[in-house]
A and B are shown apart, each in its own frame.
Chain A
Amino acid sequence: MDFELIAEAFPKLIGAVDETLILAFSSVFIGFFFAIPIAIMRLSKSRALSSLAYGYVYIFRSTPLLVQIFLIYYGSGQFRSFFEQIGLWILLKEAWFCAIFALMLNTAAYTSEIIRGGIQSVPWVQLEAARAIGMSGFLMFRRIIFPVAVRQALPAYGNELMLMVKATSLASTITIIEITGMAKKIIAETYRPIEIFLIAGSIYLAINFLISRGLVVTENWLNPHLGKRRTGKRLANAK
């Protein structure tokens, strides 16, 4: 263990946290809005729309994210003149754009399934009751479907958030220096993989730990009637 190296590498790796977080949160944020129409299509009565959405989800869940990233970043180069003509090349030549775009498409596929599951978890009787007292479609969505679906989908969505933080590491393969990219760079310079791995790994664990804590807090805030989820047992024992 080389503590001098750790002290030297730590600030560098902490400096790369920004990049990881920007990648994760911007793709999750855009991906969420992209996932909503997909989930709605998937739930629609039209067979064509529903299978189109299913096809999208299936394709993105069945292929490695690395292939998706390479396909967008390197693959677009083959049609450079075409993209230059329609003015998209300015975006596609940027590694940042391609990484966020690929991560966004990927997370949208998973998120749409989470949203669909949440919406489907709303019991039929509640919808019938809402209809019976004369709620309009939008009011029913706002007062009945949305609140129930959010509570149901939150744990799965939290999982997806943490998976996305991990997935951002793949952006290092297309020249973006985030935590993993920085770790690889320092390892290549110093040949001390174990120390660097310990720091970089702890940073990822810390980020994911904070997300999971934030999630528990949100869940408790959304479900005050269920009591505190994680601390509940201890309180019950104390009594």
Chain B
Amino acid sequence: MNFSLLGWGNAGWGDEFLRGTAMTLAVATCAFLLSIVFGTIFAGAKLSRFRALQIVGDIYTTVLRGIPELLVIYLVFFGGGTLLRTIARSLFGFEGYVDLPVFATGVLCIGVSAGAYSTEVIRGAVLTIQKGEIEAARAVGMSTMLRFRRILVPQAARFALPGLGNVWQFALKDTALISIVSLVEIMRTAAIGAASTKEPFTFFITAFCIFLFLASISNRGFRMAETWAERGVRRE
């Protein structure tokens, strides 16, 4: 193994890996936030009174938790490109080649997959809120929006935090799959380096260690956030 390959500058891959790590974090963060948006919408659908909305929520979580993320990525990347070119041709008369924005598409893929898990986390968190609290809020005359903002969200957020920590880990690990469609994040950097230096182990073990490091750091971050969120809660 030749560790000088991981140095800085033109000969080393250290700076490339740093850039890859930044990209991975950017994709994971955006996808995680998107998954919370999806999670909130579909948890709302699953908890609603309307049968049709419940079914829509059920279909979303069942399908996206039952299908490999890689398949979702293939569908969006290949299907999305075709769709985009069709739109460009028919609406704007553009005959050239339109490429998908890789970053946004990658975020969408991971966000949609992780969103199915977020949905269950958020739904579970909302269900742990006692009915009496909502009734009390209604009794003192809070409007729906105010009830949502003052009673539901602060408590549900606290209950959901450990589960969302798992979703974050899941999103972080899933970013590696986007490398298959050539977004230059950690995994892609490692693959390019491995191919051009013929030292695959050196590069993939580096990627392995970076992911391990990111997971440990974020683990600690979430644990701190949990302690912070629980600061006003009495322990039995």
Contact = CB atoms under 8 A, between A and B. Distances in A.
Interface of A: 59, 62-68, 70-71, 74-79, 162, 166-170, 172-173, 180, 183-184, 187-188, 191, 193-194, 197, 200-201, 204-205, 208-209
A187 B74 contact: yes
A67 B176 CA distance: 8
Interface in B160-182: 169, 173-177, 179-180
Binding site secondary structure of chain B: helix
Given A166-B69, A169-B71, A64 B202 contact: no
Contact of B187 (A67, A191, A201): A67
B74 A193 contact: yes
B200 A166 contact: no
A183 B71 contact: yes
A168 B67 CA distance: 11
A201 B177 CA distance: 17
Binding site secondary structure of chain A: helix
Interface in B44-100: 62-63, 66-71, 74-75, 78-79, 82
Contacts of B66: 162, 166, 204-205, 208-209
A59 B212 contact: yes
B68 A169 contact: yes
A197 B71 contact: yes
Interface size band for B: 35 or more
Contacts of B79: 193-194, 197
A193 B75 contact: yes
B201 interface: yes
Interface string B128-167: 0000000000000000000000000000000000000000
Contacts of A70: 187, 190-191, 200, 204
10 contacts: A62-B169, A64-B174, A64-B211, A70-B187, A75-B201, A79-B201, A162-B66, A169-B71, A173-B70, A205-B63
B205 interface: yes
Given A169-B70, A194-B75, A204-B68, 17 more contacts: A62-B215, A63-B212, A64-B175, A66-B179, A67-B190, A67-B211, A70-B190, A70-B200, A77-B201, A79-B201, A162-B66, A168-B68, A169-B69, A170-B70, A180-B70, A193-B74, A205-B63
